[in-house]
Amino acid sequence: MSDLIKRFKEDLQLAGYAKRSTESYVSSVLRLQRFYNKPLEDITEEELRQYWLCCQSEFGWSAATLRISYSGIQHFFTRTLVRSWNIFNEIKWKREQTLPTILSLQEVRRIIYALPTLQSHTFYLTLYSLGLRLREATTLQVGDILSDRGLVHIHAGKGALDRMVPLPKITLLTLRKYYKTHLNPKWIFPALGHNGGKDARFAKDHVSDSGGQGALQRILKHLGFKKHVHPHVFRHAYATHLLEANIPIRHVQKILGHKTLKSTMIYLHVTTQAQTDSHEKVSQVIQGVLS
């Protein structure tokens, strides 16, 4: 690792960035360096402009991928190398406004109860019923389960925001049942290893982000699901189902750990109840005008 990259990682660490964000930002900078194959301090503002033009037009990068690249490189050249370049104020890639994939209550239940192992069943039941991001679920620790208060403490999620989420009784009972199979003193979902899970009790690491995704994709194929389902879809479903149950949107925002209400409001566009209510209200207004 070069001294500059090491310094960049330290700068991000001091700024409070999560490990995953740091890795993503460093990767963006290293990708730029490989593109020009020369020291980062020798790259000019015009070369950076041409790099992003190439990524957009030649490589076909999406706006989301370009934004990630921008964030990492912008942090590097303004924090670590301290360049005062206008390009960082000029570039804007609009966020693509796409609605999330949503599963119905019946679809969530069908998937979770079709998962073949207690580990995969417990993992996705926990992911859904607590509204967790994937990394928040894989890193869940024994001490995070506050069973006497009916809460789970989620540590330093996206944006380093801690939060408390309600712990449903069915989730607590399932977690207890699964925990008895490994009794790891730290992790709720320890790495199972290559010994049929027999070493899980002594595992030092938690299950990897990709650990449970294979089982999910196999069961989706078996069930013949046409929707594009991945772990984060269960969080989308959780948020939507809470709003459909008339949980106040500010409370849903707090549970999900969203910094702004805008992030939570997207789920209003995909709730069946909200659409039904608005359709009925529109009909009532028109009926009142024309009758």
Say yes or no: domain 105-275 is CATH 1.10.357.10. Answer: no
Whether domain 3-90 has CATH 1.10.10.10: the reply is: no
Number of C-beta neighbours around residue 56 at 10 A: 16
Q: Which whole number is the average pLDDT over 247-253?
A: 89
Residue type, 280: E
Q: Does the pLDDT at position 279 exceed 60?
A: no
Q: How far is CA 181 from CA 45, 112, 198, in A?
A: 56, 19, 9
- With beta carbons less than 8 A apart as the criterion, state whether 256 and 241 touch: no
Return the number of other C-beta atoms located less than 10 Å from residue 208's C-beta.
11
Return the residue matching tokens 């207890």: 176
- List of E strands, 33-77: none
Residue 273 has a pLDDT of: 53
pLDDT of 173 reads: 95
Mean pLDDT, residues 273-286: 52
Tokens of 97: 């406004």
pLDDT tens for 170-215 read: 999 999 999 999 999 999 999 887 666 678 888 899 998 887 788 8
Chain length of the chain? 291
Which residues on adjacent β-strands are paired with residue 206? Answer: 190
Quick check: 282 and 251 in contact, CB under 8 A? no
pLDDT band of 6, cuts 50, 70, 90 = very high
Which pLDDT band holds residue 110 (cuts at 50, 70, 90)? very high
Q: Where are the domains of the chain?
A: 3-90, 105-275
114-166: per-residue pLDDT in tens? 999 999 999 999 999 999 999 899 999 999 999 999 999 998 655 557 899 99
Active-site positions read 133, 158, 232, 235, 258, 267
**pLDDT of amino acid 182:** 93
**Would you give the DSSP letter of residue 146?**
E
> What φ, ψ does residue 110 adopt, rounded to 5°?
-60, -45
Instruction: Specify the pLDDT at position 157.
Output: 54
Lowest mean pLDDT among 25-29, 224-228, 266-270: 266-270
Given a cut of 60, whether residue 102 has pLDDT beyond it is yes
Please provide the DSSP assignment of 157-176 as one string. Answer: -TTS--EEEE--HHHHHHHH
* pLDDT tens per residue, range 20-66: 888 999 999 999 999 999 999 999 999 999 999 998 888 888 888 88
Q: Which of 193, 189, 184, 223 is nearest to 209 (CA)?
A: 189
d(C-alpha 164, C-alpha 76), whole Å: 34
User: What is the mean predicted confidence (pLDDT) over 264-290?
Assistant: 60
